Structures are given as structure tokens and as C-alpha cells.
Amino acid sequence: MNPNPNPNPAAAPKTWRVGTLTYSLAGIVLLFTWLLLGDFSYMMRERSAAPVTQLMLKKYQATDFITGVFLLTIPWAIILVVGPAVSYWSDRSRSRWGRRIPFLLVPTPFVTLSMIGLAYSPPIGRWLHAFVGGDPANVNLTILLMMGLCWTVFEIGVVVSNSVFNGLINDVVPRELLGRFYGLFRAVSLGVGVLFNYKIIGHAEEHYTIILASIGLVYGAGMTLMCLRVKEGDYPPPPPDEPRRNPVFGALRDYWRDCFLRPYYLLVFLFLGFANLAFVPVNLFSIYAAKSYAMSMETYGRYLVVTFLCSFVLAFPLGWLADKLHPLRVAIGAAALYAVAMAAGFWIMRDATTFGWAFLAHGVLSGTYFTGAAALPQMLFPRAKFAQFAAAAGLLAALFNMSLGPVLGAWLDGLGNQYRYTFLAGSGLAAVGTGLGLWLHVRWTALGGRTGYVAPE
């Protein structure tokens, strides 16, 4: 019996469902609009905070080791501690606002205030140094400590929101549109990158205060508006706790059993960890590499603009390709191409021009990976416990990044700051990621592949 009362099915309006939510075309457009507004604010923060902070660190005489600790070890240590707890809690939360929105809304003012604090760290640090009667020759150390305090608060708020943002997308965006949504998601991110690197980064060394403070306010307003406008559906009740068990240790036991005692998911985590880690060496020290080859920040920004424009053009086609082929296949191909291109870049790099070409290849291929693989966690992890599994992947990635930051920084200090070696490091990590991806593809195919895969419970 046909449940559709419309005698002309061809005329029935198209609808999409995810959980208890049903969308018309207009509803999908509205949903995407609010999510992409939040993404714009999110990406303004992502695109600005790290590069501007890098320039501030160099201005106040931080070594590469300190930069690695600052931009990798501190954030990933926070992810290691906070990410799994927040994700586990979010998956099991039920409120009138949903299970994701509260975790996005509450940290927003803290992220905004910490960005403003980071912006004003130098004058605050100088005032504190004078107040305690410190040696004027050591004032930069106090400034760096003040920056570290604000950066830590900033990263705690960022980790809490990052842990559930993709969970929100998983809960409200229909699965058949995920690839194309993430293509739009990447297009917004790349558009922000073009704006920041074309108009702003050239002024970051002199005007970092107004840049960081303004973007902090943009982030606060945009994320708040998104949280107030996006609505979550109803969720089934969370699994009941076992009688008489300790709630903390019981939760830890469930988390460990679900995520880390299954070889298949360990393989997924390792692939995601190494694939994402491959882009870190160049990203972390690209500004310093540009300066070592006498490239101005304006020129560096122009190179980034070109990479973002290329990735912008590719964003929606790659999202479509991910929907058609599967994000895993696109991710493996991008990682393999990156490994080859970065090895070639290491060997050809001699001056600003050859650095620029290698950096362009890095930007376009890393963008290809991030766009093509954006929906991969949603496609591989169980929907009901998505945030939990995504956080477990982040936990393993945190261990990798916490180790890589200071090791890479100390290695570069020992090499006399020869930043072309970051391209060699990226190539090696991408090669490992490619091998893990091929192994994962064999396991994924055995579980049903593109048409029949069901995430193991």
C-alpha cells in the first residue's frame, strides 16, 4: 500500500530526514545558512589565531621549541584531557536545547574573552613585569607567560566547542547531503582564508591587537546566533547506568571498551591521526620558512590566497566526489599525492620562488584532503555515539601532536632552523598515513564498503 496520499508522486515536494527532523528544500537552505554562519565565525577564529600568535611569539623572541609547545603541545594536551570527557557527556546529555547546542553556547564567551586577553597580552605582561619589579631584560618572558595563560583558556573553550561541532552536524544534516555540505563548509573556510591572508595578515605584525580582539568579537556574535537558531531533534534515551557502579569509572570503562578494544576502530584512529599529522610540520612553521627565504608577509599572504582560491574552486566538486566514491577513497588518494609532492618540494627548495611553489602544492593538496575527507568520521563511526568516537580519534591525535610539537621544534633548532625539512617530515608522515589508509580500505570493504557498510557496534 502506498503511504503517499498524493496521486502524482512526481509532484510531491522533496524532503530529507535525519532522526526526528524532517526538512523541505527551504528548511535545508535555512539550516545550511545558519550552520555556515557559525562556520564563518569559527573559521575566522581558526584562520587568525594561530598565524597571528606565531608572529607575536617570534616578535617576543620565542624559540621554535617554545612555538611547538605553544601551538601543538598545549592545545593537544587539553584535547587529551577535555575532549573525551566532553564528547562522552554530550552524547548522553538531553536538554530542551538538545545535546550539542549547550556545549557550543557556554564556551563561546570564554573563547571571545581569551582572544581579547591574548590581543592585549603584551601591555598586560609589561605592566605585570614592572609591578613585581622584574628585570627589564626579561620582560619578554613575562609577556610570553601571559600569552600562554590566555592561550590555554582559549584552547579549553575551543576544545569544548570543537568536540561537539561536528557532532551537531552529524545530528542535524541528512547523511546523503554530508559530502556536499562539507564541500560548502570548506568553501566558507577557504573564503575566510582568502579574506584573512589577502587583507589582514600583512598587517598582523603591527596590528595584532585589533585583529585578535575584533575576530574574537565576530566569533562570539556568530556562534551565539547559530546556537540560537539551529534546532536539534529528539534523541532516544541514553543507555542506563549499571546499578551501584561508580559513575566516573563506569563511564571511563565504557569509553575504553567502546573505542579502544576494537582493532577496526583503532585502525581508523591511526589513519586519521597520521593523515592529519602529515600537514602539521609545514603548517606550523610556514611563516618562519617564508621569512627564512626573505619572503614578505604580503607575498606569503598572496600565496595562501592562491591556494585557498584553488581549494575553493575544488571544494564543491570534491564534496560531490566524496558522496559518489566515498570520503575514504578521496582521503587515501590525497594523502598519497601529498607524500610525493612534499618529497619533491624538499629537494627543489632553494629560494623564495621554489619555496612558494612547494607551499602552493602543500596548500592545494592538504585542502583536497580536508575537503574530501571531511565527512569521513560521520561515515565510519556509529551515529548514536559519534562524538565519543570522534573524541577518541582526537585523543590519539593529541598524543601524536603533543609529541611532534616539541620534537619538531627541537629538531629544527638543531638543524639551524632549516625549515625545508618540514616538507620532508610531512612527506614521511603522509606515506605512513597512505599505508594505513589502504589497510583500512581492505577492512572497510569487508564490512560492506560504499553500499553496504554499517558501523560495528
pLDDT of residue 246: 46
DSSP state for residue 381 in the 8-state scheme? S
Torsion of CA 12, 17, 21, 27, to 10 degrees: -60
Strand partners, 201: none
Q: In tens digits, what is the pLDDT along the chain, a chain of 457 residues?
A: 444 555 555 556 788 888 888 888 888 889 988 988 888 888 888 777 777 887 888 788 877 777 777 777 777 777 777 777 777 788 788 888 888 899 889 889 998 998 899 889 889 989 988 888 878 878 888 888 888 888 888 888 888 887 788 788 888 888 778 777 877 777 777 777 777 766 776 777 778 888 888 888 988 999 999 999 998 888 888 766 555 444 444 555 666 666 677 788 889 999 998 998 899 899 888 888 888 888 887 888 888 888 878 887 887 788 788 878 888 999 999 999 999 999 999 999 888 999 999 999 999 999 899 888 878 888 888 877 777 777 778 777 777 877 787 788 788 888 888 888 999 999 999 999 999 999 999 999 998 888 888 878 7
Cell numbers placing 222: 556568530
pLDDT of residue 252: 57
Residue type, 38: G
pLDDT of residue 151: 84
User: pTM of the full predicted structure?
Assistant: 0.62
Q: Which of 400, 412, 331 is nearest to 366 (CA)?
A: 331
Number of H helices, E strands in the chain: 19, 2
pLDDT of residue 239: 66
Residues 248 and 410: beta-carbon distance below 8 Å: no
Phi, psi of 16 (to 5 degrees): -130, 145
- CATH code of the domain made up of 34-233+262-452: 1.20.1250.20
